[in-house]
Every structure is written in structure tokens, then in C-alpha cells.
């Protein structure tokens, strides 16, 4: 019988070797053999196999002693767990490596060092369990890794420490809870040439959206220094979303968020340490760790890795990938790849929807993980020494979490941390456990006190919120596959881009109304004319704006970038389904409320029928700002490749006004028909109905705004409480106008839909619209299931 190999170069390994080298090492070998030839850069090294681990453990009967103790262990007994785990680790450490194994390790290390023309090169020594990185279990953070290991004695010591980490408290509990027999899991060790990301940056990349599971994007997290800071949640990293279908377009990056990146992990100068954490300079905190080109390179590699693994598996396999940038050479590297373990295991596309029945004071905000809501008494834990105070069902609040905390995490109602991004340990483990988790809050341990009842919401988009008190809510589960097919296509009204990836799971025909007002008010918050004409602002207001736009090259780029990012996220979420984006439709009082807005807005007695919609776009008081809106749409379509985005003009009063707006758009690079651009008009003024045939010559379609059409047909201010009893979209006069415009539009070969609130509030109104022959009905996401069911009954 052939002697099992104890040490194997990565280049001699592929995924078939997983039982002997573990998921991590097998992936490195697979990348080197199959993807390095097509440009994916991977650092070299070697694996110490599971056979070597077993050989080491079998000395002096160590394996039997350890496994007998584990067989008798009740993992819920925390004291016994700590005692047995410490005994097992010490037993592994106390055994010297067998001479032949030590010799093979040092021979491989010397050869690796010679390849880099060094006597003793710096390496990463990483654990790779034989049950690790399986599609059903990530084993994230369960075992130890050591960075910047240099020299033969240090390497041998690090290898022993890695082997011992198979028996950390957390790893023992993890295996027991997931049904792995301790004897069935061995540990391989990978020795990999260090990438000097301590002089640059590193992070994690997923080939899907980590929260919704949307498969159309690559999400990249990154921070300065070694990647452990990101993995262990010590920093709030930069985030980048890249859209896969348009990866070859110049700006396939559909969103980028800057993290504060307070600290970084770098090489230590001595004192027995190999790495040390240090503060990041203010300038680097503001800087992005990756250029656009670098992010696109990583995204292309991620797509290639996902494609390769999917072909090997015979089914789609989204990936969890670690990357690093070498500060000396400037080159990017992939240092690890494994199958994603949460969304890939979902058996159905069921959606959980949470409806709050009230509000509350927000104590902390961060990045949402898990898409759920949790309620409980807060427990602030600042160090592992305080974990014993935690009680089942409490909300864990901490600066960050450590893998050793996992037995406590599974007892929590929710998790809140001050540091970390969506790919850190706390986020990954919370996703696997189905816990709502808010990371990167910055202030949680000071804003929340132990004993305080809180509601943790990760169900309101990608911003997670911690509310004071118990906020009542209802949970609804929607199975898109079980919804019937309506006889009229149902589209969605979308305002907040942060909800778009989740809402795209609903069986809609696209987005009938994407409002940009939310993006302008929440993501930008500044009047566009104030960005163009700061000389008209008060000094204090100008200073506030300068601070807000400081991270962008110019104030104009700030506006265009933020608006394009918001629109792109909606466009990408629903791609290739159509997304109809309405240009801004703020009233003058609403515009004045934006930072810097008052000098640019007139005071009107009735803004509802005043200077709004189309009338602003060609007027000198707003024309320059409309050019910025057009620039954002042009970027989304032409540079990001999201040609499914169409545009719509609101509150267009006359034919002449319609022509002037279309001409103004053309001057700003948006020409009807060019690259398939369609321009719709809102039908919300009786004149749009009366002259529908003529409006159809100017525009490609109509979208009925039932709120304004009702207001102007009945002569009722829709905001008037006194006249609320008269405001009704179901009035015969309103319905007659809808029938008239539908008939005229179809006669002219134009589509007509409706995007008002009425079908969401009144399902019987949706029946009327279906009978009228509308081409689509657009409703809010929470109303879609009921409207679909109602219309299906008519089929």
C-alpha cells in the first residue's frame, strides 16, 4: 500500500483532493491549476495533508485520548466544554511533529523560499478542515490561521497551533450542532506565500448580493492592511457592487459605499508578534481602497471562479472569495475561494416580509444582515469576560464579535456590532443562524444600554436600525412560485433602491414607477442648483455642502454619481425587465427643504399645481439641474449598460411643453430612440387625456397617475383633510378618463399603464383597469400578492 502523501504543492491539488487537504487548500490548488492560466493570480505554496494531521495525532495514543474525551462531552456544559477543548489542544501542542513530516514541511518551505529568492520567506499558515467550506457548512472562523510567519522554527510552531485549533471550543460546538462526528473531521494546513496587503488592501468578495441572494451582482468589501480586519469584523470596509451582465461596460460598478476603515492590520516590527493593529490616517480613511479598474478586475475573476465551480458542480455555485493587493507590486491576488453557504442552500424563493405597526426612536443605524426583525432585552458585551452575563433571547450588543462567541450568538434574538461589514464573522454566522444582525453602527455600545428593550430591524433595506422599545410588527411569508399569473402584467412602484434586490424576487413585470425623489432627498440631500451656484448660498450652508461633497472630485460629480448609483441599483435588480424612471417631481416647497434650496425656489400658495414637473426642465431656474438628472440617466444606460431603464416626464401640461422637454433631453444626450431609449409621459392632467392622440406623437407611452388625475378631474386638493371624503379614484368621471386615454393610446400604437396608489388600496379598482385593457398596472410591493390573486380570478 502506497504511503499517503504528507506534504503536497498546491499545484498538484484540485477539488478531488478535498478529503485530504480540506476545502481551503483544495480551492487554492484548483485556482492555480485551472484559473491561473486564464489570468486569475493566486499565491503559491503547499498543503500539509490530513494524513499528516492523523500521523501527528496518533503519536502516543493522542487521538484515542482526545476522541474518548469528546465522545463523553455534553457541549451545552460550558465549563466541561472549555476543560475538554483545552486538554485536546494542549495534547496536540505537546506532541513534536514526526521527524519525517517535519523534514517534508521544511523541504517544501525551503523550495518555496528559493522561488522568491529569500532564505526564509514570509508565509500565511492557514487551517483547512476536511469538512470545511462545504456548500452546506462554511466553518467560518472555527479554526486558526497565522500571518507573516517567517523561519523554520516559527513555521513548525504555527503548523502545530493550526492542528490544535481543530479543538477550539467553537469548532467542537459547531461540529456537534451540525451533526459532524469529531473523528470524521481532520485538519490540513496550508502554507501560502504572503501577499503584502499590509502595504495596500485586502477583503472579501461574494458572487451574489449577500443579503437578498440576488445572483446578478458581485459584492466586494475591502479595507487597508491584511484581510483579517475585514473577516473578523474589526473595520467598517468599503463596499462595491458590480453588475455581472454588463461587466464589460466602462462603469459596471452600480454602487460604491465608503467605509470609515479606522484600523488596519500590518506586519509587526518584533516583540514576538507577527502582526499588529494600527490606526489608519485620516487621508486613507477617506480614500477608497480599490480603483474602479481594480474592482472590475476582481469582479471578472469572481465571475470566472463562479463559472468554473458551477461547471464542476453541475449547478449554479455562488462563491465566497478572499482577495488581497500586494503593496510592493501593486498586483491583485485571490487567496481563497469557497462555495457560499446560505443563499445557495435555499430550497425555495420564499420571501419574508415584515410590516411594522408603529414607529420608535432610532438608537443606532448600520448595515443590515439577514432581512429579519428581532426583539429583546439588550446586553452590552465589551469583552469575552462578560459573556457569562448573557441570557437566552437577549440582543447581543458589542464592538465586534469573535469566533469564540459563536455558542452565545446562537442564543441571541439579534446581534448588533459597532464594527464590521456584511462579510465579517458576525454577519456570516448570523446569516447561517437566521438572526437579524446590524453591523458597523459605530455607536451601539454607548447608545444602547444593558436591560433596555430594543427592536432590531434588518427588514427595511440595507440600512439596519435599532429602535428603542418593542415595536409591534407582523410577519408575512410570500411564495412567488405559488402566485398565479394575472391577465394583466403587474409592475412595481419602487422608491428606495436599497429594497430593490429583495423586491425583484417578486413575480413582477418590472418597475412601472421608479421615483428618484427618495434618492435625491436621502442619498444626496442637497438642492442641485446649490451645487452649481454656491455663490448664492449663505456661508454656513456652503460649508455644510462642501463637507458633504468632500469625497467626490466635484459637487456636480457628487450629484450625478449618487443619482446614477440609486437608479442603477433599481435597474440592475430587475434587469432585463423594464424599469421606468420618473424624472424629479418635487414641489417648490419640497425642493426648498433640501440643503441650499431656499435661494432657488419661489414661494407658492399652491405648489401642488405650481412650478413642478416638466415646467422646470426647460426653465432657466432649473435647466442646469435637469442637465444633471439627464447626465445620471445617460451614465446608467450608456456607461453601465442598463438599457432596460426608460424615462418618464411628470406633470406635462401642454403639447408645446412636451416638445420642449424632449428637445432639452436631446441637448443633454438623451435622444428618443437612441440605444432604444423610450420616453413616457405621466397622464395626470385632463389635457393629457383630451389630447392623447397628439401626446402619443411626442412620447412612447403613457403612465396614468391616478392621484393627480383624480385631484384635477374632481377639483379636490388631495392633501385637504376637509375634502378627503370627496377624493376617490373610483369616481365615474375619473374612470371615464382612464377608458378614454387607454383607447386613444392603443389607437396610436402606444402602451398605457397605471402607477397610482388606487390598485394597491382598492383591489376592485384593479379589476376595472384589467377590464379597460391597460397594458400594465404598477403597485406597491406589499400589495402585489393581493392584486395578482384578485386579477387571476378573472382569467
Residues tagged active-site: 425, 755
Distances (CA, A) of 725 to 488, 708, 718: 30, 16, 10
Q: List beta partners, residue 778.
A: 491
Q: Which residues of 597-623 are buried (b: 16+ CB within 10 A; e: fewer)?
A: bbebbeeeeebbebbbbbbbbbeeebe
Q: Are 133 and 139 spatial neighbours (Cβ–Cβ below 8 Å)?
A: yes
The single residue listed with the C-alpha cell 399645481 is 609
What's the rounded Cα separation, in Å, for the pair 97 and 534? Answer: 70
Q: Are 73 and 84 spatial neighbours (Cβ–Cβ below 8 Å)?
A: yes
Burial class (CB in 10 A: 0-12, 13-18, 19+), 764: exposed
Q: Are 756 and 704 spatial neighbours (Cβ–Cβ below 8 Å)?
A: yes
How long is the chain? 795
Q: Which three cell numbers stand for residue 729?
A: 379614484
Ramachandran angles phi, psi of 200, nearest 5°: -145, -115
Non-local (6+) Cβ contacts of 80 within 8 A are 73, 74
Q: Are 394 and 412 spatial neighbours (Cβ–Cβ below 8 Å)?
A: yes
Half-sphere exposure of 76 (CA within 13 A, CB side): 4
What's the rounded Cα separation, in Å, for the pair 615 and 619? Answer: 7
Non-local (6+) Cβ contacts of 114 within 8 A are none
What's the rounded Cα separation, in Å, for the pair 506 and 479? Answer: 9
Q: Are 426 and 401 spatial neighbours (Cβ–Cβ below 8 Å)?
A: yes
The single residue listed with the C-alpha cell 448573557 is 390
What's the rounded Cα separation, in Å, for the pair 173 and 80? Answer: 12
Q: State the DSSP H helix or E strand holding residue 276, giving kind and residue range, or none if neither.
A: strand 275-279
- Residue 357: how many CB atoms within 10 A of its CB? 8
What's the rounded Cα separation, in Å, for the pair 561 and 558? Answer: 5
What sign results for the dihedral spanned by CA atoms 307, 132, 179, 386?
negative
What's the rounded Cα separation, in Å, for the pair 367 and 230? Answer: 14
The CA R_g of the chain, rounded to the nearest whole Å, is: 29
What's the rounded Cα separation, in Å, for the pair 334 and 419? Answer: 24
What's the rounded Cα separation, in Å, for the pair 341 and 357? Answer: 33
Q: Are 480 and 506 spatial neighbours (Cβ–Cβ below 8 Å)?
A: yes
What's the rounded Cα separation, in Å, for the pair 665 and 780? Answer: 29
Q: Are 327 and 197 spatial neighbours (Cβ–Cβ below 8 Å)?
A: yes
Distances (CA, A) of 130 to 51, 135, 205: 11, 13, 23
Half-sphere exposure of 254 (CA within 13 A, CB side): 32
Alpha helices for 448-587 (secondary structure H)? 500-503, 517-518, 528-532, 539-548, 555-574
Distances (CA, A) of 582 to 165, 514, 515, 535: 56, 6, 6, 30
Q: Are 643 and 675 spatial neighbours (Cβ–Cβ below 8 Å)?
A: yes
Q: Which residues of 387-401 are buried (b: 16+ CB within 10 A; e: fewer)?
A: beebeeebbbbbbbb
Q: Are 483 and 508 spatial neighbours (Cβ–Cβ below 8 Å)?
A: no
Amino acid at each position: 500500500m502506497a504511503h499517503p502523501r504528507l506534504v503536497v504543492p498546491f499545484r498538484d491539488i484540485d477539488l478531488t483532493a478535498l478529503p485530504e487537504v480540506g476545502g481551503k487548500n483544495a480551492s487554492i490548488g484548483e485556482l492555480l491549476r485551472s484559473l491561473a492560466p486564464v489570468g486569475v493570480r493566486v499565491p503559491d505554496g503547499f498543503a500539509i495533508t490530513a494524513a499528516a494531521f492523523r500521523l501527528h495525532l496518533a503519536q502516543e495514543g493522542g487521538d484515542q485520548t482526545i476522541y474518548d474525551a469528546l465522545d463523553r462531552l455534553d457541549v451545552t456544559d460550558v465549563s466541561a466544554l472549555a476543560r475538554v477543548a483545552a486538554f485536546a489542544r494542549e495534547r496536540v501542542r505537546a506532541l513534536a511533529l514526526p521527524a519525517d513530516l517535519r523534514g517534508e514541511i521544511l523541504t517544501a518551505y525551503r523550495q518555496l523560499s528559493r522561488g522568491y529568492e529569500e532564505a526564509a520567506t514570509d508565509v500565511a499558515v492557514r487551517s483547512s478542515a476536511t469538512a470545511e467550506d462545504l456548500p452546506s457548512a462554511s466553518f467560518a472562523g472555527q479554526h486558526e490561521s497565522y500571518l507573516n510567519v517567517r523561519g523554520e522554527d516559527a513555521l513548525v510552531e504555527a503548523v502545530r497551533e493550526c492542528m490544535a485549533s481543530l479543538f477550539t471550543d467553537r469548532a467542537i460546538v459547531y461540529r456537534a450542532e451540525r451533526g459532524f462526528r469529531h473523528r470524521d473531521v481532520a485538519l490540513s494546513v496550508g502554507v501560502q506565500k504572503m501577499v503584502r496587503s499590509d502595504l495596500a488592501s485586502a477583503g472579501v468578495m461574494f458572487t451574489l448580493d449577500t443579503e437578498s441572494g440576488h445572483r446578478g451582482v458581485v459584492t466586494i468589501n475591502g479595507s487597508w492592511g491584511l484581510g483579517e480586519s475585514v473577516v473578523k469584523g474589526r473595520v467598517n470596509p468599503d463596499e462595491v457592487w458590480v453588475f455581472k451582465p454588463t461587466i464589460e461596460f466602462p462603469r459596471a460598478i452600480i454602487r460604491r459605499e465608503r467605509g470609515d476603515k479606522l484600523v488596519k492590520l500590518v506586519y509587526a516590527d518584533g516583540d514576538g508578534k507577527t502582526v499588529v493593529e494600527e490606526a489608519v490616517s485620516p487621508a486613507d480613511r477617506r480614500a477608497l481602497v480599490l480603483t474602479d479598474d481594480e474592482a472590475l478586475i476582481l469582479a471578472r475573476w469572481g465571475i470566472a471562479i463562479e463559472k468554473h465551480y458551477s461547471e464542476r458542480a453541475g449547478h449554479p455555485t455562488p462563491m465566497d472569495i478572499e482577495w488581497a493587493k500586494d503593496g510592493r507590486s501593486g498586483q491583485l491576488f485571490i487567496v481563497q475561494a469557497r462555495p457560499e453557504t446560505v443563499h445557495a442552500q435555499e430550497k425555495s424563493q420564499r420571501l419574508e416580509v415584515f410590516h411594522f405597526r408603529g414607529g420608535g426612536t432610532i438608537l443606532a443605524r448600520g448595515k443590515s444582515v439577514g432581512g429579519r426583525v428581532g426583539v429583546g432585552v439588550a446586553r452590552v458585551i465589551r469583552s469575552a469576560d462578560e459573556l457569562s452575563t448573557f441570557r437566552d433571547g437577549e440582543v447581543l450588543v458589542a464592538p465586534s464579535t469573535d469566533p469564540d462567541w459563536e455558542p452565545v450568538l446562537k442564543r441571541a434574538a439579534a446581534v448588533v456590532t459597532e464594527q464590521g461589514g456584511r462579510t465579517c464573522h458576525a454577519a456570516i454566522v448570523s446569516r447561517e443562524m437566521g438572526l437579524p444582525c446590524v453591523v458597523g453602527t459605530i455607536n451601539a455600545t454607548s447608545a444602547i444600554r444593558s436591560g433596555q428593550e430594543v427592536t432590531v430591524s434588518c427588514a427595511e433595506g440595507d440600512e439596519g436600525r435599532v429602535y428603542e422599545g418593542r415595536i409591534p410588527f407582523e410577519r408575512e411569508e410570500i411564495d412567488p412560485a405559488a402566485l398565479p399569473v394575472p391577465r394583466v402584467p403587474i409592475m412595481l412602484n419602487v422608491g428606495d433602491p436599497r429594497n430593490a434586490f429583495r423586491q425583484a424576487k417578486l413575480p413582477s413585470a418590472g418597475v412601472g414607477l421608479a421615483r428618484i425623489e427618495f434618492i435625491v432627498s436621502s442619498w444626496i440631500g442637497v438642492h442641485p442648483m446649490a451645487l452649481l451656484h454656491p455663490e448664492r448660498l449663505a456661508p454656513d450652508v456652503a460649508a455644510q455642502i462642501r463637507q458633504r461633497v468632500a469625497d467626490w472630485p466635484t459637487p456636480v460629480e457628487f450629484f450625478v454619481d449618487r443619482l446614477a448609483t440609486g437608479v442603477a441599483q433599481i435597474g440592475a435588480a430587475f434587469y432585463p425587465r423594464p424599469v421606468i424612471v420618473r424624472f424629479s417631481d418635487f414641489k417648490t416647497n419640497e425642493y426648498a427643504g433640501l440643503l441650499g434650496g431656499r435661494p432657488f425656489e419661489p414661494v407658492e400658495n399652491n405648489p401642488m399645481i405650481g412650478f413642478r414637473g416638466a415646467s422646470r426642465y426647460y426653465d432657466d431656474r432649473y435647466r442646469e439641474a435637469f442637465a444633471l438628472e439627464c447626465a445620471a440617466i445617460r451614465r446608467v444606460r450608456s456607461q453601465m449598460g442598463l438599457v432596460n431603464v426608460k424615462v418618464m416626464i411628470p406633470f406635462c401640461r401642454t403639447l408645446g411643453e412636451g416638445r420642449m422637454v424632449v428637445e432639452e433631453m436631446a441637448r443633454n444626450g438623451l435622444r428618443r430612440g437612441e440605444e432604444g431609449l423610450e420616453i413616457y409621459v405621466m397622464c395626470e392632467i385632463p389635457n393629457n387625456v383630451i389630447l392623447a392622440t397628439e401626446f402619443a406623437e411626442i412620447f412612447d407611452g403613457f403612465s396614468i397617475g391616478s392621484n393627480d388625475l383624480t385631484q384635477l378631474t374632481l377639483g379636490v386638493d388631495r392633501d385637504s383633510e376637509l375634502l378627503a371624503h370627496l377624493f376617490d379614484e373610483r369616481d365615474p368621471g375619473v374612470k371615464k378618463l382612464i377608458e378614454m386615454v387607454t383607447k386613444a393610446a392603443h389607437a396610436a400604437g402606444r402602451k398605457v399603464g397605471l402607477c397610482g396608489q388606487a390598485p394597491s388600496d382598492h383591489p376592485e379598482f384593479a379589476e376595472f383597469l384589467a377590464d379597460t385593457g391597460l397594458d400594465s398596472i404598477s403597485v406597491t410591493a406589499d400589495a402585489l400578492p393581493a392584486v395578482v390573486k384578485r386579477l387571476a380570478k378573472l382569467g
